[in-house]
Structure 1
Amino acid sequence: MGIFVVDGISWSHSRALLRPSFDRTNVADLSQLEGFMQIFFSKINESPQQPFTHSRVVELQELFQRLTMDSSTNFLFGKPIGALTSKKFTLGNGEMTFDQAFDIAQHGLAMRAPLSSFYWLYNGREFRKACLTARTQAAVYVSHTLKKLSLAEKKAEKEGLDKKYVFLEELAEQTQDPQVLQDQVLSVMLAGRDTTAALLSWTFLCLAKNPEVFKKLRAEISVVVGVDENARLPTQAELRSMQYLRWIIQEVLRLYPPVAINARRALHPTTLPYGGGPDGNSPISIRKGERVAYSTFSLHRRTEVYGPDAQEFRPERWGEEALRKVGWSWLPFNGGPRICIGQQMALTHASYFIARMMQVYKEITLQDSSSVDDAYDTKLVMASGRGVHVLLS
Structure 2
Amino acid sequence: MLETHFQALLRRIPNDKATIDLQPLFFWLTMDFATDFLMGHSTRVLDHASSHAKEKQFVDDYLTCSTEIVRKMQLGPLQMFSINFAAMRARSRVFRYVDDFIDASLDQKDESESTNMGCNVLQCLSAVTTDRKQLRDQILHILVASRDTTACLLSNLFFVLAKKPHIYDKLRRGVVSIAGVEPATDHQLSSMEYLKWCVQESLRLHPVIPTNAREASRDTVLPYGGGEDGNSPLLIKKGSLVMYNIYAMHRDARIFGADPEEFVPERWDGLRPGWNYLPFNGGPRICIGQKFALLETYYLVSRMVQTFETMSAVDDSEWIELYALATTCRDGVKVSFTRPNHRQ
TM-score, shorter chain, exceeding 0.5: yes
1:82 and 2:27 aligned: no
Secondary structure of the 1:365 match is strand
**Aligned partners of 1:121 and 1:264: how far apart in 2?**
25
1:386 to 324, 331, 334: 331
Could you say which residue in structure 1 is the equivalent of 2:292?
345
2:107 corresponds in structure 1 to 147
Match of 1:332 in 2: 279
Tell me, yes or no, if the aligned pair for 1:73 and 1:79 is still in contact at 8 Å: yes
How many residues are aligned here? 336
The Cα shift of 1:60 comes to 0.5
Give the letter aligned to residue 296 of structure 2: H
Other structure's SS at 1:309 match: coil
User: What is the CA distance between 1:33 and its match in structure 2?
Assistant: 0.7
Separation in structure 2 between the aligned mates of residue 207 and residue 136 of structure 1, nearest angstrom: 39
Deviation at 1:143, TM superposition (A): 0.6
CA contact (8 A) 2:145 2:290 kept: no
Instruction: Say which SS state the counterpart of residue 11 (structure 2) adopts.
Output: helix
Please give the alpha-carbon distance, in whole angstroms, between the structure 2 residues aligned to 1:296 and 1:109. Answer: 20
Distance in 1 separating the partners of 2:220 and 2:201: 33
Q: Aligned partners of 1:291 and 1:120: how far apart in 2? A: 20
Corresponding position of 1:101: 61
State yes or no: 1:112 paired with 2:72. Answer: yes
Whether the 8 Å contact between 2:65 and 2:90 is mirrored in structure 1 is yes
1:249 Cα shift?
0.7
Aligned equivalent of 1:25: none
1:328-386 per-residue CA deviation (whole Å, 9 max, x = no partner) reads 011111111112232221111101100111111011111112x1x22001222001111
Trace 1:184-203 onto structure 2 (pairs within 5 A): 184-203=138-157
2:278 & 2:30 partners in 1: Cα distance?
Answer: 22
5+ long unaligned stretches in structure 2: 339-344
The match for 2:341 is none
**TM-score, normalization by structure 1:** 0.82
Number of the residue aligned with 2:227: 277
SS in 2 for 1:43: coil
The separation in 1 between residues aligned to 2:81 and 2:193, in whole angstroms, is 48
Any residues of structure 2 matched to 1:345-364 within 5 Å, and which? 345-364=292-311
Q: Which residue does 2:11 correspond to in 1?
A: 42
Give the 5 Å matches for 1:85-234. Answer: 85=47, 87-90=51-54, 97-150=57-110, 152-155=111-114, 157=115, 164-226=118-180, 231-234=181-184
Query: Equivalents in 2 of 1:139, 1:164: separation in Å?
Result: 18
Q: Tell me, what secondary structure is at the counterpart of 2:243?
A: strand
What fraction of aligned residue pairs are identical, expressed as a percent? Answer: 35
What is residue 27 of structure 1 aligned with on the other side?
none
Distance 1:123 1:271, change over 3 A: farther
* Contact residue 82 and residue 89 of structure 1 kept, 8 A: no
Tell me the amino acid that sits aligned with residue 258 of structure 1: V
Post-superposition Cα deviations, 1:245-293, rounded to whole Å, max 9, x if no partner, equal: 0111111111111101111222333333222333221233333333222
One-letter amino acid matched to 2:313: L
- Supply the AA of the counterpart residue of 1:140: D
**Mapped contact 2:250–2:277 kept (Cα < 8 A):** yes
Distance 2:167 2:333 in 1: 17
User: What secondary structure is seen at the aligned counterpart in 1 of 2:182?
Assistant: coil
Give the corresponding residue for 1:24: none
Cα deviation, 1:165-200, whole Å, max 9, x if unaligned, reads 100000111111111101111111111111000111
Q: Distance in 2 between matches of 1:120 and 1:165?
A: 40
Q: Which residue number in structure 2 is paired with residue 256 of structure 1? A: 206
Regions of 4+ moved over 6 Å: none
Please name the residue that 2:268 is paired with. Answer: 318
CA-based RMSD:
1.7
Paired amino acid for 1:388: V
Q: Gaps (5+ residues) in structure 1?
A: 1-31
Q: Name the SS of the counterpart of 2:242 in structure 1.
A: strand
Residue 117 of structure 1: CA displacement?
4.0
Give the TM-score taking structure 2 as reference length. Answer: 0.93
Task: Say whether the 8 Å CA contact 2:142–2:288 is kept in structure 1.
Answer: no
Residue type at the aligned position of 2:124: E
* Other-structure match for 1:377: 322
Alignment of 1:13-92 (within 5 A): 32-45=1-14, 54-85=16-47, 87-90=51-54
Tell me the equivalent position of 1:16: none
Separation in 2, partners of 1:69, 1:205: 20
CA offset digits 1:77-108 (Å, max 9, x no partner): 001012212733439xxxx7000000010111
Give the CA deviation at 1:203. 1.2
SS in 2 for 1:283: strand
In the TM superposition, residue 233 of structure 1 has moved relative to its aligned partner by: 1.4
Q: Is the 8 A contact 1:81 1:89 kept in 2?
A: no
CA–CA distance in 1 between the matches of 2:238 and 2:96? 37
1:387 alignment partner AA: G
SS in 2 for 1:364: strand
Task: Give the letter aligned to residue 241 of structure 2.
Answer: R
